[in-house]
Amino acid sequence: MTIAHQMAVREKPERFAWLNGEMIAALGAGALIITAYLIGAAGFGTASAIVYLLAFVIGGYAKAKEGITETIRSKSLNVEILMILAAIGSAAIGYWTEGAILIFIFAVSGALESYSMEKSRKEISALLDLKPEEAWRLKEDGSTERVGTANIRIGDLVLVRPGERIPVDGNIQGGMSSIDESAISGESLPLEKGRDDDVFAGTINLSGALTVRVNKLSSDTLFQKIIDLVEKAQSEKSPSQQFIERFESTYVYAVLGVVAIMMVLPHYLFGWDWTNTIYRAMVLLVVASPCALVASIMPATLSAISNGARHGVLFKGGSHLESLSSVKAIAFDKTGTLTEGRPAVTDLIVREGLDRRQTLSLLRTIESLSSHPLAVAIQAFAEKEGAGLLKGIEIRDIPGSGLEANWEGKTYQVGKPGFVGKEEAAEFADGALERLGNEGKTVVFMRGDDGILALAALKDTLRPEAVEALGSLRELGIRTVMLTGDNEQTARAIAKEAGIDEYTAECLPETKVARLKELERVYGQVAMIGDGINDAPALATASIGIAMGDGTGVALETADVVLMKNDLRRLPYASRLSGRMNRIVKQNIVFSISVILLLVLSNFMQVIDLPLGVLGHEGSTILVILNGLRLLKSGD
């Protein structure tokens, strides 16, 4: 079955996802209410009462079971118990229709709340559906065998055919293709990938066949990280949700106490007859229940967590999501966070009169002996420039200094200024060494028998999205701070290039912790983002710790938020998402409390009957749930 066909098959049932078991029971109860009303209108009162009773049982079973089970577990009453008592009380005084309508609407709102929870969790179920369980492993003779991804080992080669999901995290060893990574990064456009490019489990190979070398076990893939972290996040509650749940039990007892007084006092105080007194008590029991208030937070929080997961931001709990919008300053590690974490050649200066490609070939050949990160970067740059390797060259490693080589009777040296001659290095190319050093670059020289031939300047380059992300954070009023172990010169150059508001250089792990505490005294809530083991203490100290998705296990474990795909542009998105969630939660709380007060007042003034009370109360619950579901949609 092709990917397109799978998506088409999956899309049709999604239209009816709201039709869960609770909703079917609620609709069944609604049909029975209409039937009972028609039977009663025809003069069959007893039969009508029996059908109403069936509507009570079918519509109220799920919520009654939930309420009773939770009451036994927590040894405290809840809103479900209030609704059950209100419905029974209405029927007891002869208001079968009103009681049945209460059960019906309460069942509908409960079904919608269950749907909203499932809707907010659909990112996880969708991810689990997309998680590949099998792969085509290449054998030594070139044939393939179908194996479970759990049996794939690091270093294995797997074949991914066009239209298949990539089963592992790995590196392309052969083939080129367009890769749909929307399940991982949220990026809608496919990416063109070829040899040596990384691919991730769960993404789709759209065109050419690929041979991929596995570099992570199935349990450690980026895809599995997303699933694990979002599942953990959905099990944790925000401070607001915890408060509401503590408040609910106390509020329920208060309502029951007021209702008990209401069932007696108005008869003697205002002269109401007993039927009207009990009826008004039942209306109060309905309209004063905090259903909408209880539903104000959790659907919104789960929706926002799912939204973030879909866009590459994983929150480990609702509390971190709730707090992020109040952050006024973010501290950044440099290496691997603001920068790529590996050096790259930015400048190559060759002495006038020499052939650039021939000189670069000589430099590449000499550096080919070394596995030093600078040497690896020079080799990669030379290969990209089309400079080949020379033959017949003898190379020696001079520990702590550099490399020395003999080729065609001449001697060459590659290394730092002190190795090739400080004075000559300083004068080469009109003092390029000083200029490049001021830009935070490391300079490697190549010297021949007749002087310096070339220099290569290297730098840990900024991530392509870093400047854009930092600019967006400034627009949100967030101050940016860089904490780095690099020297003052390098730190200043990177801070200027990135547009960082302030920086601190030569930081040890304890220095970062101390600096964060200073920032918290000035700005209050402060976030820290990093990727290394040395960042873990700072991540733990910060109000919110944020880790890069490719960071160390310690950083990922310590952090409260994880940026999958290492995309810093997700930071402003996450901050705006937090702000949206907090606004919607506040809207829900204000709205639900206002509706409760209005309905309670209307009941005391006897201007509202039970059916309208039911509609107002349960309607407000449905509205706050739907308002929370808006967070499933992208947007600022």
Catalytic positions, please?
Answer: 333
Report the b/e string of 115-129 with b at 16+ CB within 10 A: bbbebbbbbbeebee
The 3-class SS string of 174-239 reads: ECCEEEECHHHHCCCCCEEECCCCEECCCCEECCCCEEEEECCCHHHCHHHHHHHHHHHHHCCCCH
> CA 363 to CA 41: how far, in whole Å?
98
Cross-strand pairs, 459: 344
Task: Give SS3 for 455.
Answer: strand
Element containing residue 243 per DSSP (H, E): helix 239-262
Closest CA to 406 of 387, 423, 393: 393
Work out the end-to-end distance of the chain between its first and last CA atoms, rounded to an integer number of angstroms. 37
- Starting from the edge strand earliest in sequence, which strands make up the sheet with 502-504, in order? 313-315, 561-563, 544-548, 526-530, 329-333, 479-483, 502-504
Backbone angles phi, psi at 397, to 5 degrees: -90, 125
- The values of phi and psi at residue 99, to 5°, are -65, -40
Nearest to 135 by CA among 208, 217, 192: 217
